[in-house]
Chains A and B, each alone.
Chain A
């Protein structure tokens, strides 16, 4: 095989038909470019939606669920156990809302090597008081700086700083919905009452907007201590523990362990967001299906053009064979033409796709629901560029191979005789 000669012949063939070659290459460019744009945009969107959930959702959420006992006392009693017992009007088991022994559990979890961080929370049912009107609400007592570090709550504080809450024992991060209803802003004072009737005055240090109206109309954040004081409880009163792990895969075994060990309810992230995974998978499938279709169409374009070119070049093939080029040489001439079209078209496609992606990345996209997003999300993962160029080369090779193999088997005598 004499590559310099073969490549110079295919170069001359391509350059002597610039228009045709450019059209063939444009087919690939368009296919690969669209693939890059689609994949970057779609996966960017997927990632955004995933993060929206994953960032905020604890990997394991531990709390004490109010529920009926699984075994009613009579079933444990000798003489009735094993019989068919029928119960009416079963009530939930009398149980405290707080997590029993929360502080030692927190300490234990913090020392677990799998755990990245643990945040305790106190949930308190309150009313926001506006004159004679009382609005339903929930106050979450949190360790705000830990929440910022682990669950990116900072991204959703639309006004004010999380530090302001950490510094102020009477501060509250008010839900944006309530703030709007009550015409409150940062620096204003707010009164709340508890279910038992105690009245507290808090200072609004920031506004919180999750993007979900249901939450923003109800939920606010205070310091852990503030919430405990509102409820009149001590510092060991903790209703929820949120755990963030180093490796999300360990959420399921860990939640099981906690259930077994502490007899608490522990929900892992996979269970909490099962429907979400499905959506992501389906979006990915659609992206790949569309992209591959585009590339196959581009492949057929190349196949057609090469096929036509070989018809036109019958004489050339006969001459090359008569002057000592083997069938393999002739095949390589045409395959290398296809590959050149593929590589050039593919690289231009990657560049084209990249620039359009950058353009999309800078297009303003502002929505009430996603306060942290200012432009369309785009994922610039180099892996997609690698997939794109590999597919360009492979598909053009296949598109060129069949016509090239035909050229390999053309009998020069038939062509020369036919003249």
Chain B
């Protein structure tokens, strides 16, 4: 199967407060439909790697390809467009815009993309929310729902533009075991049924065990 994401010799240094080599010659690929988790101790650089892969951090050396297209060296506006249409991102702290309704939160990236009409986007967003079992909450403000629900909204938002890959940073990090289980099942289902590629950074051993492949990191290297 085709490579969705390819990282070649990625190196990153922190210079502040002291020079520190965070990522050392990271190279790996993710294939279409693969569910990959990255594990490692705190401070081994796995989050840093994820920010580079998600194109938000551009301060690195090496090459990054998404669906065969080189991302390294593109302008920040071009990268914004790539993030918008190709990458879905789920944060540890289910970052939602608190003043917007759940439906609006899910719709925003699609409205930015403007590939479909507003009514169509609304329909899509409702469908994603139904899929995640929170369709009845659609018109509540994002600040008025529980943590588990928030995380599901974040997943719906990551899905709205039908991206090639979804990246998640500790998506179950601050959820209880029941909600963790729930989120995992949703992600599993997406990868099986829709052949979505998934890349998840996690601490959670049980979670990682159930994915297709585990990439373990230590001191900035893949082992």
Residues of A within 8 A of B (CB): 2, 4-5, 8-9, 12-13, 16, 315-316, 318-329, 412-413, 416-417, 419
Contacts and interface: CB of A to CB of B under 8 A. Distances in A.
Given A324-B109, A416-B169, A419-B93, 18 more contacts: A2-B114, A5-B108, A5-B114, A12-B99, A12-B104, A13-B99, A315-B95, A320-B108, A322-B91, A323-B89, A323-B108, A323-B157, A324-B81, A324-B161, A327-B76, A327-B77, A327-B80, A413-B51
A322 B89 contact: yes
Contacts of B91: 322, 416
B47 interface: yes
A16 B99 contact: yes
A413 B58 CA distance: 10
Nearest to A4: B111
A328 B77 CA distance: 8
A327 B78 CA distance: 11
Interface in B95-114: 95-100, 104, 108-109, 111-114
B85 A324 contact: yes
B84 A324 contact: yes
Given A413-B56, A417-B47, A325 B112 contact: yes
Contact of A322 (B81, B83, B93, B111): B83
B172 interface: no
Interface residues of B, number: 32
A134 B93 CA distance: 102
A216 to B, nearest CB: 71
A326 B97 contact: no
Report, nearest first, the 10 A-B pairs whose CB atoms are least far apart: A324-B84, A326-B80, A16-B99, A5-B111, A323-B109, A324-B83, A319-B95, A326-B77, A413-B51, A413-B57
B54 interface: yes
A328 B109 CA distance: 15
Interface string B110-122: 0111100000000
A326 B81 contact: yes
Interface of B: 47, 51, 54, 56-57, 76-77, 80-81, 83-85, 89, 91-93, 95-100, 104, 108-109, 111-114, 157, 161, 169
B100 to A, nearest CB: 6
B124 to A, nearest CB: 15
Contacts of A12: 99-100, 104
18 contacts: A5-B111, A12-B104, A316-B98, A319-B95, A319-B96, A320-B108, A322-B54, A322-B89, A323-B83, A323-B89, A324-B84, A324-B109, A325-B112, A326-B76, A412-B56, A416-B51, A416-B95, A416-B169
Most chain B CB neighbours (cut-off 10 Å) among A12, A316, A416: A416
A5 B109 CA distance: 10
Nearest to A416: B91
Contacts of B51: 413, 416-417
Given A326-B80, A326-B81, A413-B51, A318 B95 contact: yes
Nearest to B101: A12
Contacts of B93: 419
Contact of A321 (B80, B113, B114, B169): B80
A216 B93 CA distance: 87
A413 B52 CA distance: 10
B27 to A, nearest CB: 22
Contacts of A9: 108
A86 B111 CA distance: 98
Nearest to B104: A12
Contacts of A417: 47, 51
Nearest to B88: A323
Contacts of A13: 99
A324 B54 contact: no
Contacts of B97: 316, 319-320
Contacts of B80: 321, 324-327, 329
Nearest to A13: B99
A95 B104 CA distance: 95
B216 to A, nearest CB: 22
A315 B99 CA distance: 12
Contacts of B81: 324, 326
A318 B89 CA distance: 12
Nearest to B85: A324
Nearest to B157: A323
A323 B112 contact: yes
A319 B51 CA distance: 13
A329 B57 contact: no
A412 B100 CA distance: 20
A9 B89 CA distance: 20
A372 to B, nearest CB: 59
B109 A321 contact: no
A115 B199 CA distance: 90
Contacts of A323: 83-84, 89, 108-109, 112, 157
A295 B207 CA distance: 59
B76 to A, nearest CB: 6
A250 B109 CA distance: 68
Given A5-B111, A13-B99, A416-B95, A322 B56 contact: yes
Given A316-B97, A416-B91, A324 B113 contact: yes
Contacts of A316: 97-98
Contacts of B56: 321-322, 412-413
A343 B84 CA distance: 32
Nearest to A330: B80
A378 to B, nearest CB: 44
A324 B99 contact: no
A13 B114 CA distance: 21
